[in-house]
Amino acid sequence: MVHSPSSSAQQARQALADRLTELCRDAGLTGLDLARRCGWSGSKSSRIMNARTAPTAEDIRAWCQACGCEEQAADLVASLRTAEGMWVGWRRMERAGLKRAQEARLPLYVRTRRFRSYSSWLVPGMIQTQPYTTAALRALQRRRGLAVDDVTEAVAARLERQRVLHEGGRQFAFLVEESVLRAGIGGTEVMSGQLRHLMTVASLPHVSLGVVPMTSDRERWPAEGFWIYDATQVNVELISGYLTITQPGEVAMYAAAFAELAELAAYGAAAQDKIAAALAALR
């Protein structure tokens, strides 16, 4: 399992390791005893017990059998899957193409009522135009060297998620760095359409769109892009992978960062002026 920068993921791995260690001790076994019963090296047992190496599902089943508690294997395998899902490298997430990765997020969007999104790289997917999404995903497919070319299907899946933007009972707060407005994704025509779309989105009554200005004296620096879903989950898109955070303390840290960035942002007519300036610069 890839080590992520999130303590949520690390804590989940450690909790699983601690539980396996308890089973071993409750059975009156040492790590070496367990290794002999499972047919692997003593160092492997040690690495698993100390959370240095993640067990596989097969390892967990063998561990439980060696400890005489096969009935606990299913729950422990489920814990393993949860820990694995907190940090997923892009290569693993997108090995079957981009479409599946886009579809996987739809249930989360459907059940969320309050969305907060901060982006320092791209316009958030929820408010992208189809040409902008196509350009962004096509560039992603090329950069990561993905063998499966399902960009058209992935674009359709992302646009399907956008329907929640127009369903009742939800609130959306988007923050984008001013540099995002001038990133030039897809060329002049694509960016022009995207910027005009942002002006339309900003007028929706249930949507707040803030533009964090480029200044030389900011005390709150730009950060990695992230989404906050209600007050229970944060997803962060890093260069190396996709991070899911559910620990309340960490979710609160991202909420605080969002609030700080929101205080710096321009809204309403001031935000429209910045979008219009970026549009004029394209011409």
Examine the pLDDT at 222 and tell me if it is beyond 60: yes
CATH code of 94-282, in short, is: 3.30.870.10
Number of CB atoms found within 10 A of residue 33's CB: 16
Per-residue pLDDT of 48-70, as tens digits, reads 999 988 899 999 999 999 999 99
Examine the pLDDT at 270 and tell me if it is beyond 50: yes
User: CA distances (Å), 61 to each of 27, 69, 74, 172, in order?
Assistant: 15, 9, 8, 44
Per-residue pLDDT of 134-182, as tens digits, reads 999 999 999 888 888 999 999 999 999 999 999 989 999 999 999 999 9
User: CA distances (Å), 268 to each of 182, 205, 265, in order?
Assistant: 19, 12, 10
pLDDT band for position 246 (cuts 50, 70, 90): confident
Does this model's pTM top 0.85? My answer is: no
| Mean of per-residue pLDDT scores for the chain | 91
Q: Give the type of residue at 256.
A: A
Which tokens in the block code for residue 109? 């969007």
Task: Give mean pLDDT, residues 74-96.
Answer: 79
Give residue limits of the domains in the chain.
7-89, 94-282
Examine the pLDDT at 112 and tell me if it is beyond 90: yes
CATH homologous superfamily for 7-89? Answer: lambda repressor-like DNA-binding domains (1.10.260.40)
pLDDT reported for residue 54: 86
Alpha carbon 1 to chain centroid distance?
A: 17
pLDDT reported for residue 146: 87
